[in-house]
Amino acid sequence: MKIYHLAALGILAWGSQGCWNGKPKIEDADIYKDTLTYQFKNINNKADDCAGKPDSACTTIKFKYPAFDNQPVLNDTVVTGLATLMDKQKGIAGLQRLSWQYLQDYKDFKKTNPDWKGNFELDCKVSVLRQDSSLVNLAYDGYQYIGGAHGGQKTRYVNWNVKQNKKILLSDILKPGSEAELTAIGEKIFRKQENLDATTPLSRDYFFKDGKFTLNQNFLITPFGLKFLYNQYEIKPYAAGQTTLDIPYAQIKSLLQPNTIVARYL
């Protein structure tokens, strides 16, 4: 499927999320040529005791992900990332093995907890947020419930360099030695959105190691800036959910390498 309209939708969506300092550079028309084509694949499994029951009343496993035409490395990355999204150790052997293991865990749990009336759930998908001739933005979203008070949700971003056929890391777009300054800028934005002054200790209400603010590697390249996402339990209690942090290019322009994937936005 060709998705030329994603560019416009992405800009509208990002523009509604908050105030960015500065406007993105107007991109050349040919940036949106030669987009990759793909089709979604689905893997659905149910527990043996699901006969005659709706999905909402039984243990289910659902995977949905794009399979790109003539992109074996990207496709392998998609499937591997999806399988290891909620549990890296169990998913390392692939989606089918993970499905079997998950259903086996459910059987074992029912044996040791015969009076338990609930059901397990694993629902993971990969979305193509945006793509063009150079960049593909992927979002992995997963939900898992394996008993207990509540389930768990996780989101992971992947930025894919189409021409180099690999994931984009922060080190690929930042100038060497600029990580500390990026972190300092990120902390100022974080404190502002959390209504914290510059001296409020982060160790009181957050889970940063040693109470020191840090940026993770879970970021999304957008036309306006870098979007970082912290998942549940990563820096806050479960009830706080996920936390996003948007750093505009206008504030980090001097930290970015020239001639990289983000240069067109500066």
Task: Assess contact for 96 and 40: CB atoms under 8 A.
Answer: no
Please return the burial class of 251, using the count of CB atoms within 10 Å of its CB with bins 0-12, 13-18 and 19+.
middle
The single residue listed with the structure tokens 């992109």 is: 71
Rounded Cα gap, residues 19 and 246, in angstroms:
10
| 223/21: higher pLDDT | 223
Domain of 185, in residue numbers: 170-265
In a domain, 1, yes or no: no
In a domain, 61, yes or no: yes
According to the model, what pLDDT value does residue 31 have?
A: 56
Q: Is there a single domain that holds both residue 154 and residue 193?
A: no
Q: Is there a single domain that holds both residue 147 and residue 75?
A: yes
Q: Is there a single domain that holds both residue 150 and residue 198?
A: no
**HEC string of 133-168?**
CCEEEEEEEEEEECCCCCCEEEEEEEEEECCCCEEC
In a domain, 151, yes or no: yes
DSSP one-letter code for 252? H
Rounded Cα gap, residues 20 and 30, in angstroms:
25
Task: Assess contact for 68 and 35: CB atoms under 8 A.
Answer: no
Q: What pTM, to 2 d.p., does this model score?
A: 0.86
Q: Is there a single domain that holds both residue 108 and residue 74?
A: yes
How confident is the model over 224-243, as pLDDT tens digits?
Answer: 999 999 999 999 999 999 99
In a domain, 41, yes or no: yes
With the CA atoms of 51, 56, 57 and 61 taken in that order, what torsion angle do they form, in degrees rounded to the nearest 10?
60
How confident is the model over 125-161, as pLDDT tens digits?
Answer: 999 999 988 999 999 999 999 998 899 999 999 999 9
Which strands sit side by side in the sheet containing 38-46, from one edge to the other? 38-46, 60-68, 121-131, 135-145, 152-161, 166-167
Mean pLDDT value of segment 7-20: 40
How confident is the model over 98-113, as pLDDT tens digits?
Answer: 999 999 999 999 999 9
Q: Is there a single domain that holds both residue 222 and residue 114?
A: no
| Of 51-55, 172-176, 259-263, highest mean pLDDT | 172-176
Q: pLDDT band at residue 34, thresholds of 50, 70 and 90?
A: low
According to the model, what pLDDT value does residue 35 have?
A: 85
Six-digit token pair at 121? Answer: 């759930």
Contacts of 95 (CB under 8 A, 6+ apart): 43, 63, 79, 82, 83
Last residue of a domain, one of 148, 167, 186: 167
Element of type H or E holding 176: none
According to the model, what pLDDT value does residue 20 have?
A: 44
How many domains does one find in the chain?
2
Mean pLDDT value of segment 83-91: 93
According to the model, what pLDDT value does residue 57 have?
A: 93
Q: Is there a single domain that holds both residue 21 and residue 131?
A: yes
Has residue 5 got a pLDDT over 50? no
Mean pLDDT value of segment 21-36: 54
Candidates 220, 222, 249, 218; CA nearest to 232 is: 218
Has residue 217 got a pLDDT over 70? yes
According to the model, what pLDDT value does residue 108 have?
A: 96
Query: What is the percent of the chain where pLDDT is above 90?
Result: 82
Summary mean pLDDT of the chain = 89
In a domain, 121, yes or no: yes
